Amino acid sequence: MVDNNYEVIIIGGGPAGLTAGLYTSRAGLNSLLVEGGLVGGQIVSAELVENYPGFPDGISGFELGQLMYQQAIKYGLNTIIAEATGIELREKQKEVKTTEGNFMAKAAIIAGGSERRKLSIPGEEKFIGRGVSYCATCDATFFRELSVAVVGGGDAAITEALHLAKFASKVTVIHRRDQLRAGRILQEKALSEPKIQFLWNAIVDEIEGEDLVKRIKLREVKTGEKSTLEVAGVFISIGLKPNTDYLKGILPLDTAGHIITNDKMETEIPGIFAAGDVRSNSARQAITAAGDGATAAIYTEKFLS
């Protein structure tokens, strides 16, 4: 079923999609933005964004997202809460399939960002909400005076560990390498926090428990030596994966699943653009995503004229 005809459909409501929508709407193009949940993208989970120009005192990610949204709809951007599930080419039109129906447009800008990567080990799914969590900010309060593990070694993982240290009795960071990827300032904070300890070169094989998580099974990367760690919580923070599963076989993707574009944000298919974190070689910043969105919108306008 085709509900409507748009000039451009934007998939994703983060900084890339909202900026693209602002530009296409201001250019007078009938635009629809498709977003699965709250607008703002990954940035909404940042308590304070201090590197987005124009806000010398920083701004909460949630507020930044809301402001971008208000600015875009002020110029007539249409939005719908729906998840994109596919794109098909219909002669010169693009049919965007979503969980709330299908929509036709002359052009599409894919700005669907990324989602949290899972460990995909036994016990992970089973114990979600029973000790397994992907959001320390949300759930740390439920682990007061308990021992928890954080899996990962990047900025996000170390930020989570530092937050958990305010609540938990002990935080063990489990990392598959022998050094952290996290930035220097975060590393120093974590290394000087007495509640945080590190397990290097370690992989989690399994999460065990009965009703709730009780322990995790570990393996040393080099020696293969196995061990067990008693924990009540496992916080998984092993990076992001681009939301491009529905584009496999339609658009060329890099090995990690990001969409390959040129510097005009054009993909291999004329009239389909990509912007933000979903794009190969993105710097993954709110400001670069916004820049991508503006670039994609400007070349979309040229494509349509």
Partner 1 sequence: MSEPLAVNDDEFDQIVLQSEIPVLVDFWAPWCQPCLMIAPILDELAEEFSGRMNIVRVDVDQNLKSAVKYSIMAIPSLLIFRNGKLITNVVGAKRKQDLKQIIDDALK
3-state secondary structure at position 70? helix
254 is catalytic: no
List, in sequence order, every beta strand (DSSP E) within the chain: 2-11, 31-35, 78-81, 84-90, 93-98, 101-110, 114-116, 132-133, 147-151, 170-174, 196-199, 202-209, 213-220, 226-230, 233-236, 240-242, 272-274
Q: Which of 48, 138, 185, 256 binds partner 1 (CB under 8 A)?
A: 138
Token pair of 189 as six digits? 């904070």
Q: Nearest distance from residue 301's CB to partner 1, in Å?
A: 29
Q: Which of 128, 250, 260, 298 binds partner 1 (CB under 8 A)?
A: 128
Q: Does 38 bind partner 1 (CB under 8 A)?
A: yes
Q: Does 83 bind partner 1 (CB under 8 A)?
A: yes
Q: Does 48 bind partner 1 (CB under 8 A)?
A: no
Q: Does 137 bind partner 1 (CB under 8 A)?
A: yes
Q: Does 129 bind partner 1 (CB under 8 A)?
A: yes
Q: Nearest distance from residue 106's CB to partner 1, in Å?
A: 27
Between residues 125 and 178, which has the closer beta carbon with respect to partner 1?
Answer: 125
Q: Does 134 bind partner 1 (CB under 8 A)?
A: yes
> In DSSP terms, which residues pair with 149 in a beta bridge?
172, 234
Residues 6+ apart with CB under 8 A from 12: 33, 34, 35, 41, 110, 111, 112, 113, 243, 276, 278
Q: Which of 81, 203, 229, 304 binds partner 1 (CB under 8 A)?
A: 81
Query: x/- string (CB under 8 A) for partner 1, residues 50-79?
Result: -----------xx-----------------
Q: What angle do CA 270, 276, 279 make, to 5 degrees?
A: 60
Q: Does 150 bind partner 1 (CB under 8 A)?
A: no
Kind of pairing, strands 101-110 and 93-98? antiparallel
Q: Which of 138, 178, 245, 254 is catalytic?
A: 138
Rounded-to-integer distance, Cα 218 and Cα 226, Å: 6
Q: Does 82 bind partner 1 (CB under 8 A)?
A: yes
Q: How many residues bind partner 1 (CB under 8 A)?
A: 28
Binding site for partner 1 (CB under 8 A): 36-38, 44-45, 61-62, 81-83, 99-100, 128-135, 137-139, 141-143, 212, 233
User: Catalytic residues, which ones?
Assistant: 135, 138-139
